Chains A and B, each alone.
Chain A
Amino acid sequence: MELLIDIFMSFAKVGLFTFGGGYAALRLIQSEIIISKAWLTMEEFLDVVAIAEVTPGPIALNASTFIGYKLSGIPGAIVGTVGVIFFPVLIMLVLTYFVNKLKDNKKMKAIKTMLRAVVIGLIASAAYTMGAAALGSTLSLVIFAAALAAVILLKADPILLLLVTAVVGAIIRI
C-alpha cells in the first residue's frame, strides 16, 4: 500500500510539471523515477521509452503505466496512470469551466484569436522537430509525401492512414 501511494505521488508530480507534451514528461520521469527514487535502472528506462513510443497512447501515459506495472503489478499500472493524469484533468476542468463561462467576453475573444495563431506556430514546430527525426531515409520521405498528398488532396481519414502505413510497414519490415 505504501508503495502504491508512493507511485501515485511520484507520477502526480510528473503530471503536474509536464508542460509541452510527452517528451517533457520523460525528462521528469527520468529525474523523479530513475535518479531520485532509483526504481528503475537507466537501461530499463530506455526500454520503457522505446516501448512507450511504439505503442498506442500518449507517451507519458504509456511510460507511467509501464513503470507502475513493473513496480507493483496491475494495481501499480492503474495507480501510475491515474497519478499522471490527476492534476492535468483537475486543472483542465477548472480552465474549461472558465473558458466556457467567459465565452462571450471581449477580452477572452481577443485572447482566443491570438492563441489560434500561437498554436499554429507550436504545432508547426512539433511537425518540424518530428520531421527532422523521422524523415532521414528516402523511403520515409516517400511515405511522408504520399501521406501528405492523401490527406490534402484525397482528404484521407487520418486513422485509416496510420493503420495502413503501420500494417504495410510491419509486413514489408522496413
Chain B
Amino acid sequence: MTGTKKPSLREIFTLFFKVGMFTIGGGYVMVPVMQKEIAEKRNWMSKEEFTDMLGITQAAPGPIAINTATYVGYTLRRKSGAAAAVLGCTLPSLLVITVIAALFPSFMKYSFFQSAFKAARPAVVALIAAAVIKLSKSCVSKPLYLAIAVIAFLANCFLKVSPFPIIVACALLALVLPEEAL
C-alpha cells in the first residue's frame, strides 16, 4: 500500500455493508461506488491499486462484489480484514432476502419496488459509464492499451467471450511482449 491509511475492521465492515446495500442490478455498480468510497473519499488505496484490483477480481470465479470485498479486505488487514469485508458485503442480501422470502411471498406484486428499480437502472448505467471515463483517463496511456481495451470490449460485448479467457490471454501477452512495447 502506498501512503494510505490502515482502517479498522469495523470501518471495513461498515463500508462493505454499505456497498452491499447499494449493489443494485448487478455487481458492476459497485465499481463506481467503491471507486468513490475507497480511492477518493477514504484513500485506502490509490487509484492505480484500485484499477489493478478490478482486473484480478474479474479473473476469478464468483460474484464481483464478493471477490472485490475479499481482495480489499485482505490487502488492508489480511484474513480478518477479508472476513470483515465479505461479511459486510453479504449481510444486506441475507437480511433483506430472508425478510422478503419470509414476509412478502408476493413481493413482486408491490409495484413500488419495481418502480424504484426501474428508475435506478438508468442511473446505474450512467455510474458505470462514468467509471469507464474516469478509469480510461488514468489507464489508457498508449495506443497499445487503447487497442487492448477496444478488443476486450468487442470480444465481451459482441462475441460474448467471458472475461476469464480475455484476461488470461492479455496477461500472457504482457509476459511475451518485449518490455519496450509495454
| A57 B129 Cβ-Cβ under 8 A | no
Interface members, chain B 48-75 (any A CB < 8 Å):
48, 51-52, 54-67, 70-71, 74-75
Q: A65-B97, A110-B182, A158-B127 are in contact. Are A22 and B122 (CB under 8 A)?
A: no
Q: Is the CB of A22 within 8 A of B27?
A: yes
Establish whether residues A60 and B22, one from each chain, have CB atoms under 8 Å apart when the complex forms.
no
Taking Cβ atoms with an 8 Å cutoff, the residues of A that contact B are 15-25, 47, 50-62, 65-66, 69-70, 74, 77-78, 81, 84-85, 87-89, 91-93, 95-97, 99-100, 106-107, 110-131, 134-135, 140-141, 143-145, 147-148, 150-152, 157-159, 161-163, 165-170, 172-174
CB distance from A67 to the nearest CB of B (A): 9
Whole-angstrom distance between the alpha carbons of A161 and B163 in the complex? Answer: 28
Q: Assuming the A-B contacts A110-B179, A114-B170, A119-B135, are A170 and B66 also in contact, with contact meaning beta carbons closer than 8 angstroms in the complex?
A: no
Q: Which residues of chain B are near A92, meaning CB under 8 Å?
A: 57, 60, 62, 66-67, 70-71, 74, 82
The 7 residue pairs across chains A and B that have the minimum distance between CB atoms: A169-B119, A88-B62, A121-B152, A115-B55, A57-B93, A147-B126, A92-B70
| Chain B residue at minimal CB-CB distance from A73 | B102
Q: Is the CB of B22 within 8 A of A159?
A: yes
B63 neighbours in A (Cβ, 8 Å): 15, 18, 21-22, 25, 58-61, 84-85, 88
Name A96's contact: one of B74, B118, B151 (CB within 8 Å).
Answer: B74
List 20 A-B residue pairs with CB atoms under 8 Å apart, sorted by A's residue number.
A57-B21, A59-B25, A69-B98, A93-B79, A99-B56, A114-B171, A121-B148, A122-B156, A123-B28, A124-B129, A124-B149, A126-B26, A127-B129, A140-B121, A143-B119, A144-B123, A151-B32, A157-B36, A158-B32, A159-B22
The answer to whether A47 and B74 touch across the interface, beta carbons within 8 angstroms, is no
Interface code B115-153, partner A: CB below 8 Å = 1, 0 otherwise? 111111111111111111101100110001110111111
Instruction: Give min CB distance, B93 to chain A, whole Å.
Output: 3
The chain B residue with its CB closest to the CB of A121 is B152
Do B98 and A65 touch (CB < 8 A)? yes
Q: In whole angstroms, what is the CA distance A3 to B120 when docked?
A: 37
- Within the assembled complex, what's the spacing in Å between the Cα atoms of A17 and B63? 11
Given contacts A100-B74, A120-B136, A169-B120, 15 further A-B contacts (CB under 8 A): A25-B63, A54-B113, A56-B22, A59-B63, A60-B62, A92-B62, A93-B82, A119-B54, A120-B152, A124-B129, A129-B157, A144-B126, A169-B119, A170-B113, A173-B115
**A161–B29 alpha-carbon span in the complex (Å):** 12
Interface Cβ pair total, 8 Å cutoff: 369
B61 close to A16 (CB less than 8 A)? yes
Instruction: Name the CB-closest residue of A to B181.
Output: A110
Chain B residues positioned under 8 Å from A51 (CB to CB): 97, 100, 107-108
Closest to A86 in B: B62
Beta-carbon contacts under 8 Å, B150-182 to A = 150-157, 162-164, 166-167, 170-171, 173-175, 177, 179, 182
Is B127 a contact of A116 with CB atoms below 8 Å? no
Q: Contacts of A69 on B, CB cut-off 8 Å?
A: 97-98, 101-102
